[in-house]
A and B are shown apart, each in its own frame.
Chain A
Amino acid sequence: MTADTDIIKIENLNIWFQMRQGFLKDVISKKLRYAKAVDGISFNIKKGEIFCLVGESGCGKTTTGKGILRLVEPTSGSIIFADDDSDPVIKRLLHLAGEKSRKREGTAIVEMEGRRGIDIRKLTKSEMIYARQRIQMIFQDPYESLNPKMTIFDIIAEPLIVNKLSKNEKDKEARVIKALNDAGLRPPEFYMWRYPHQVSGGQRQRVGIAGALVLSPSLLVADEPISMLDVSIRGEILKLMLDLRENKRLSYLFITHDLSVAYVFSDRIGVMYLGRIVEMGPTEMVIKNPKHPYTQALITVVPKPDPTAKEEKIILKGERPDPTNIPPGCRFHPRCPYILTLCNVLQPGETEAETGHWAACHLLTPDFVIKWNTENLPKYEKIAADVEKKNTAEIDKLRKELAKLRSDLATLKSAKVKKDRQEAIKAIEKNIQKLDTEMAKAKAHVEKMKAEIVTMKAKLPSASRPLSP
């Protein structure tokens, strides 16, 4: 295997959760509601690479990580794992995956860049055991992910027992000691027989890492491995993970909400928003030259350890969006400061801004925006004209009514009837106002589209090249 080969390739992965809407509704209604936690994401991780998924909580980054290990079952898409096929576990897995099984259609082998890859989604439960020996996970909270009633030895030895990997007690112990050593818990004998509560937070996280290392994986999914740790020991864990990459050629899927950690630790970043990757590229490029408005905002709000830094923060309004109700068009448009008309309607494609760095935003394809706006302008103009025609007619009618009511008012004597009339007048006035604003809105829409064409034209001679508008 050379340095540039992919160890895992995820294509168009969807993980949807069905929403309960109450028993009867579930039975009767034909339309099921889904929470689309992960909604069509694709990425690849190269051998020995650290790929980082960042985003707010609820954007689907953890679900993606779990989906790769099939700890949650993906709805559709493919996860192709292609490790070194001289490895006996992979050999065995390739052999099993190539065979027919009642539980799947065809084989689980996929050709990838001339190598044989395994589609994780097509593996049966018993085959997954082999795959999980090579893909392991490190969990976020070292205070909750370790069983308090087991010694550290038992915790780390458990994967060996589950996978029936240790030949005898001596072999098991040797493997545990090696894993502890690799995770930097030295001397291993000192830690082995302790319970999790007897060691500190940083050491607990090392235990979690040792538990993953004992099966000698080639890909580690690290879900916020340092967010629960004290600042002074975060660096230690990151260093350990870097060392492991050097010594064991591990690849990482690193999941974090902290952009500054992603910046110093990863090779490539994917920024997730509401189940989709909106920007992806080499870390340096994404952080120093962000293209998507969401990434730009996210970078400005990261607290900086510098009291003299005076930078305008782009604080997005609103709370985190709801994956059960994904907005049409660009899913970021309700919070976007630069929203264009077509953002409401059309989902943006991925546009490459620099080599290997793309973002999904209409602003990057001014030529396409101009084209779309020019094409759709007549449609919106017609809508505006229709609204104007209809509303003017209505307003005329209402005005007549109003005049009649007003003239009535002068002749009436009874206080109660007078009051009724006054209220009716108020209601009609309100109605007229509503129709007026409706008309103004439709007109403003057209004006905005025209203005957009002008501003986009100014941007036109840009180097950006639309990949898939």
Chain B
Amino acid sequence: MAMLEVTDLRTYFTTMEGTVQAVDGVTFTVEEGEAMGLAGESGCGKTTAALSIMRLLPSNGYIKTGKIMFNGKNIVTLNAPKLRKTRWKEMSIIFQGAMNALNPVKRVGDQITEPIMLHENVSEAAAIKRTKELFELVGISPDRINEYPHEFSGGMRQRVMIAMALACWPKLIIADEPTTALDVMIQAQILRLLKNLQKELSLGFIMISHDLSVLAETCEKLCIMYAGKIVENGTSIHVFKNPRHPYTRGLVAAFPNIKGVKFMPEPIPGNPPNLIHPPKGCRFYERCKYKIDSCNETEPLLFEIEPGHFVACHLVQKGVI
């Protein structure tokens, strides 16, 4: 059985204008020691999906339906004390802006020892010892545990965040745009660190990013999300070498490859649909260049086009494209 099984997850937000269907029927699995990438444009629901798995949704968000089975427990129905024991101990998250995710008035070491002491009932000395080990693991000098976040550079802060996520040796780590605010060189350092840690500790790993090329280098499996739904799902080789959904094709073509031939990235005209009143049929209908009228009538479902490669598109299913 897979370590994490998300089935038909629907996460909605109540807003002044109406209910935003941010995640609308998302299904995926993550095995132990597997790295999965969740890609899509801003506003497609990838961060909301991650926050649903952690049950960290803002107060106006709620999980409408769906099951999140993690190590045999359904996260959706877990009560608060049990949830508290699962979070950080069994799964943890690395947030996007390390600048804002760390408490500026607490020493970084204290911020890491705190969860260790809370979760594992160990003495402070033992927790500090582990914090030092963690620092060494992520490539920061252990002498720096008594410094404040502002004394660290952006890349180093992100390393602190990674150390914090590893604090209780969880089995699943979700990384939400871990390198977006960083320079290319620092990004490469952090990605290599994450990849090595994931392999060494055989972690389940969900990496969320809008940058497909970052995911191409770190993940074995990819889910492409569009307007709250997964439109294509497969190994990264499937997605990059044989993209089938028109949106995935557009997205792959939008990334220039510095090693390839020089060509202008192809834009996808238009904007994502309003998720308060999502279209009845295919959500990509408006922007699709292959669309036919019937696409707007029924919602396409994921189907297996080759072993392990799923696409949600009427036209692909009919063999038109």
* A301 x B187 contact (CB < 8 A): yes
Given A231-B254, A305-B252, A319-B153, answer yes or no on A297-B185 (Cβ-Cβ < 8 Å): yes
Given A232-B251, A308-B241, A313-B192, answer yes or no on A263-B186 (Cβ-Cβ < 8 Å): no
* A315 x B267 contact (CB < 8 A): no
* B213 x A234 contact (CB < 8 A): no
Contact of B236 among A257, A265, A307 (CB under 8 A): A307
* B257 x A260 contact (CB < 8 A): yes
Per-position binary interface string of chain A over residues 278-300, scored 1 when its CB falls under 8 Å from any chain B CB and 0 otherwise = 00000110010000000001110
Given A264-B263, A304-B258, answer yes or no on A231-B269 (Cβ-Cβ < 8 Å): no
Q: How far is the CB of A219 from chain B (nearest CB, A)?
A: 22
* A304 x B185 contact (CB < 8 A): no
B156, B236, B259, B262: residue with the most chain A Cβ atoms closer than 10 Å: B259
Q: Size range of the interface on A?
A: 35 or more
Q: How far is the CB of A234 from chain B (nearest CB, A)?
A: 6
* A299 partner residues in chain B, CB cutoff 8 A: 258
- Give the CA-CA distance A89 to B264 in the complex, in Å: 34
B259's nearest neighbour on chain A, judged by CB, is A304
* B184 x A257 contact (CB < 8 A): yes
* B216 x A303 contact (CB < 8 A): yes
B42, B183, B214: residue with the most chain A Cβ atoms closer than 10 Å: B183
Residues of A193-243 whose CB lies within 8 A of B: 200, 202, 230-236, 238-239, 242
* B264 x A301 contact (CB < 8 A): no
* A298 partner residues in chain B, CB cutoff 8 A: 184-185
Contact of B217 among A232, A235, A303 (CB under 8 A): A303
* A283 partner residues in chain B, CB cutoff 8 A: 262
* B264 x A304 contact (CB < 8 A): no
- Give the CA-CA distance A233 to B270 in the complex, in Å: 8
* A261 partner residues in chain B, CB cutoff 8 A: 256
Residues of B259-283 whose CB lies within 8 A of A: 259-260, 262-269, 271
Tell yes or no: B31 within 8 A of A by CB.
Answer: no
- Give the CA-CA distance A309 to B255 in the complex, in Å: 15
A309's nearest neighbour on chain B, judged by CB, is B259
- Give the CA-CA distance A301 to B187 in the complex, in Å: 8
* B189 partner residues in chain A, CB cutoff 8 A: 315
* B265 x A234 contact (CB < 8 A): yes
* B256 x A56 contact (CB < 8 A): no
* B211 x A315 contact (CB < 8 A): no
* A305 x B183 contact (CB < 8 A): no
* A319 x B186 contact (CB < 8 A): yes
Tell yes or no: B132 within 8 A of A by CB.
Answer: no
B239's nearest neighbour on chain A, judged by CB, is A307
Per-position binary interface string of chain B over residues 171-189, scored 1 when its CB falls under 8 Å from any chain A CB and 0 otherwise = 0000000000001111111
Residues of B174-227 whose CB lies within 8 A of A: 183-189, 191-192, 210-214, 216-217
* B41 x A232 contact (CB < 8 A): yes
* A319 partner residues in chain B, CB cutoff 8 A: 153, 155-156, 186
* A231 x B259 contact (CB < 8 A): no
* A230 partner residues in chain B, CB cutoff 8 A: 41-42, 210
* B250 x A232 contact (CB < 8 A): yes
Tell yes or no: A259 within 8 A of B by CB.
Answer: yes
* B257 x A232 contact (CB < 8 A): no
- Give the CA-CA distance A320 to B213 in the complex, in Å: 23
Contact of A235 among B187, B260, B267 (CB under 8 A): B267
Tell yes or no: B240 within 8 A of A by CB.
Answer: yes
- Give the CA-CA distance A20 to B3 in the complex, in Å: 55
Residues of A53-81 whose CB lies within 8 A of B: 56-57
A233, A261, A305: residue with the most chain B Cβ atoms closer than 10 Å: A305
Given A231-B41, A303-B216, A315-B185, answer yes or no on A264-B210 (Cβ-Cβ < 8 Å): no
Given A231-B211, A302-B258, A307-B216, answer yes or no on A313-B188 (Cβ-Cβ < 8 Å): yes
Contact of A301 among B185, B240, B267 (CB under 8 A): B185
Given A301-B184, A307-B236, A320-B183, answer yes or no on A232-B254 (Cβ-Cβ < 8 Å): yes
* B216 partner residues in chain A, CB cutoff 8 A: 303-307, 309
Tell yes or no: B118 within 8 A of A by CB.
Answer: no
B41, B212, B241, B267: residue with the most chain A Cβ atoms closer than 10 Å: B267
* B191 partner residues in chain A, CB cutoff 8 A: 303
- Give the CA-CA distance A297 to B264 in the complex, in Å: 24
* A260 partner residues in chain B, CB cutoff 8 A: 213, 255-258
A318's nearest neighbour on chain B, judged by CB, is B185
Tell yes or no: B237 within 8 A of A by CB.
Answer: yes
* B269 x A236 contact (CB < 8 A): yes
- Give the CA-CA distance A315 to B216 in the complex, in Å: 18
Per-position binary interface string of chain B over residues 232-258, scored 1 when its CB falls under 8 Å from any chain A CB and 0 otherwise = 000011001100000000111011111
* A303 partner residues in chain B, CB cutoff 8 A: 187, 191, 211, 213-214, 216-217
* B213 x A56 contact (CB < 8 A): no
A234's nearest neighbour on chain B, judged by CB, is B265
- Give the CA-CA distance A308 to B211 in the complex, in Å: 17
* A238 partner residues in chain B, CB cutoff 8 A: 264-265
* B271 partner residues in chain A, CB cutoff 8 A: 200, 202
* B250 partner residues in chain A, CB cutoff 8 A: 232
* B268 x A306 contact (CB < 8 A): no
A313's nearest neighbour on chain B, judged by CB, is B188
* A233 partner residues in chain B, CB cutoff 8 A: 267-268
Q: How far is the CB of A140 from chain B (nearest CB, A)?
A: 13
A55's nearest neighbour on chain B, judged by CB, is B183
- Give the CA-CA distance A319 to B213 in the complex, in Å: 23
- Give the CA-CA distance A283 to B262 in the complex, in Å: 10
* B183 x A307 contact (CB < 8 A): no
* B184 x A302 contact (CB < 8 A): yes
Contact of B210 among A202, A231, A236, A308 (CB under 8 A): A231
Q: How far is the CB of B91 from chain A (nearest CB, A)?
A: 25
B155, B217, B256: residue with the most chain A Cβ atoms closer than 10 Å: B256
* A236 partner residues in chain B, CB cutoff 8 A: 267, 269
* A200 partner residues in chain B, CB cutoff 8 A: 271
Query: 15 pairs across A/B with beta carbons < 8 Å?
Result: A230-B41, A231-B211, A231-B254, A233-B268, A235-B268, A304-B217, A305-B240, A305-B252, A307-B240, A308-B240, A309-B259, A313-B188, A313-B192, A319-B155, A320-B153
Closest 3 CB pairs of A and B: A235-B267, A303-B213, A301-B188
Q: A297-B185, A308-B240 are in contact. List 20 more A-B contacts (CB 8 A).
A: A56-B183, A231-B251, A231-B254, A231-B265, A235-B267, A263-B258, A298-B184, A299-B258, A301-B188, A302-B258, A303-B213, A304-B216, A305-B213, A305-B240, A306-B213, A307-B216, A315-B189, A316-B185, A319-B155, A320-B183
| Interfacial residues, chain A to chain B (CB-CB below 8 A) | 56-57, 200, 202, 230-236, 238-239, 242, 257-261, 263-265, 283-284, 287, 297-299, 301-309, 311, 313, 315-316, 319-320
